[in-house]
Amino acid sequence: MRTSGFLLVAAVFVFAPAMAQELPREERVPGGVAVIPLGRYDTAPLAHLDDRRVAVMPCAEQWCAVVGLSLGVSAGDHQLSVRGGGKTSEVRFAVQPKAYPEQRLTLKEKRMVDPDAEDLKRIARDQEVLMRAFATWSDPPPTLRFSLPATGSLTAGFGLKRYFNNQLRAPHSGIDIAASEGSPVVAPAPGTVIETGDYFFNGNTVFLDHGQGLISMYNHLRVIAVKTGARVQRGEKIGEIGRTGRVTGAHLHWTVSLNNARVDPMLFLTADALASLTKRR
């Protein structure tokens, strides 16, 4: 139920700050994150966007939904469905437009641009695994600020409109960090390994579940250093930089997904991590 009266309000004021943590930087744009105040409840309400459950965290002496906005979301008004205190309500919010730049790449391996029939079958199987991993939900509250998973140069930002051999393909769903082959890739926050594998486009890949729909993915690894089901801590090695899958050189492609929407990993970086990556551009 919604809190009312001095004692219940006071209880929320006492306990919410103790649970609160630093949230991602907010950008209410396609590929961004919306932090939406929900009000005061005795316990965390349930919130959904288009039938997808979204993370709910304590913030500023109330509860807030932390919502991933996919690159395909339309600009304009949207609404969350919120259930708590025995009631269901709607909370409206607006998404602003954002234009992302282009990137054009040339690949020598033609199959990575125009896969053959057998490749397409494999890609379809890969997509089933990827979609299942990104749809994972676990209840523990996530850590919403990340360290860098690798040391290197930022070579491609999030959201780029990508052309391979002059053919338009899906937008860039993460960021690329270039480093020498064999360099370590580490967990940027605590998480559970929910999937590993070798995929046609992504190469050797690790998925981490950080809780409440926050999933991270690490592609093109030379070596996978963890097994499915393992619990890893911030800074623990999960693999090595490689050039497997669709690549033009050794690098890590890092994807962050929130409520099954791919969002800009830069919004989740700590101030120190962001400054460090910016210096190496």
pLDDT tens, position by position, 138-172: 998 899 999 999 999 999 999 999 898 988 888 99
Extract the tokens encoding 253.
Answer: 């492609």
Mean pLDDT value across residues 39-57 = 96
Band of the pLDDT at 202, cuts 50, 70, 90? Answer: very high
End-to-end CA gap in the chain: 49
Residue 188 has pLDDT above 70, yes or no: yes
CATH superfamily of 102-279: Glucose Permease (Domain IIA) (2.70.70.10)
Measured from the Cβ of residue 206, the count of other Cβ atoms closer than 10 Å reads: 27
Residue 274 near residue 188, CB atoms below 8 Å: no
Question: What is the C-alpha to C-alpha distance for residues 134 and 136, in angstroms, rounded to an integer?
Answer: 6
Mean pLDDT value across residues 99-126 = 92
Residue 248 near residue 8, CB atoms below 8 Å: no
CATH 2.70.70.10 domain span(s) along the chain: 102-279
Q: Options 2.60.40.1590, 3.40.120.10, 1.10.287.110, 3.40.50.10540; which CATH number does 6-95 get?
A: 2.60.40.1590
Question: What is the C-alpha to C-alpha distance for residues 167 and 113, in angstroms, rounded to an integer?
Answer: 8
Question: Among all chains, which residue has been given the structure tokens 């690949």?
Answer: 107
Helix/strand number for the chain, H first, E second: 3, 20
Nearest to 222 by CA among 252, 206, 242, 248: 242
pTM equals: 0.90
pLDDT at 14: 36
Amino acid letter, 57:
M
Percent helix, percent strand, percent coil in the chain, to nearest 5: 15, 40, 40
Question: What is the C-alpha to C-alpha distance for residues 102 and 166, in angstroms, rounded to an integer?
Answer: 11
Q: What is the largest CA-CA distance in the chain?
A: 69
Least confident interval from 84-88, 182-186, 196-200 = 84-88
Band of the pLDDT at 279, cuts 50, 70, 90? Answer: low
Amino acid letter, 56:
V
DSSP state of 190: -
Nearest to 149 by CA among 22, 275, 27, 277: 277
CATH 2.60.40.1590 domain span(s) along the chain: 6-95
Residue 107 has pLDDT above 80, yes or no: yes
